[in-house]
Amino acid sequence: MPTPLPLQTVVAHTGRVTVARRQQLLHQRPVTVWLTGLSGAGKSTLAYEMEQRLHDQGLSSFVLDGDNLRHNLNRDLGFTPEERQENIRRVAEVAALMNDAGLIVFTALISPCLADRAMARSIIGSARFIEVHVSTALKVCEDRDPKGLYNKARSGLIPMFTGISAPYEPPDEPHIRVDAGQCSVSEAAAQILDYLQQQSVLA
């Protein structure tokens, strides 16, 4: 692998189009809505529902889905704690860039560790970071098991599987907590939409 250049030799450049100008152009405040929860909790379903709702309102958003990113940007990463942390770091950096472009971003990742989510918040910036705990119970997620992962984890075929053989650390004080086992996708999306409106994210 080539040796990276020393950081002091890399000079950052700044254009004349500011985030504030992009915000005016798009009529929205760029934020990252970070959805965290167990596998099968409903994070991706909810993220894409939100993307559709904002699109229908003429607003610009994008979903960074953890599974999708592991097919491209993060395909070189496994699931050790260190690799999970790097996965989160990369997603947070991309989300921050998309926020700089004026977009509202929805991330859908298990992101099981408090420290890793705190890192994501520091990269994106607290003013732009909205943490949503999709708090669907383990039993509900396991009963759904849309990808058959829990069965494989119970059989020992998937080591370090969150909720079974690896821990999940729920947020202490998320901005929003939705239980997709107790409410519909539409109801959960409405709850997030209400919060975004209260925070003046939407025009």
Catalytic residues: 111
Handedness of CA 186, 191, 192, 195 (dihedral sign): positive
Rounded CA-CA distance 95/89 in Å is 10
Specify the residue for token string 């915000």: 23
Rounded CA-CA distance 110/60 in Å is 24
Rounded CA-CA distance 133/20 in Å is 29
- Look at the chain and count its residues: 203
- For the record, the structure tokens of 107 come out as 């991330």
Rounded CA-CA distance 14/107 in Å is 26
DSSP code per residue over 118-183: HHHHHHH-GGGEEEEEE---HHHHHHH-TTSHHHHHHTTSSSS-BTTTB-----SS-SEEE-TTTS
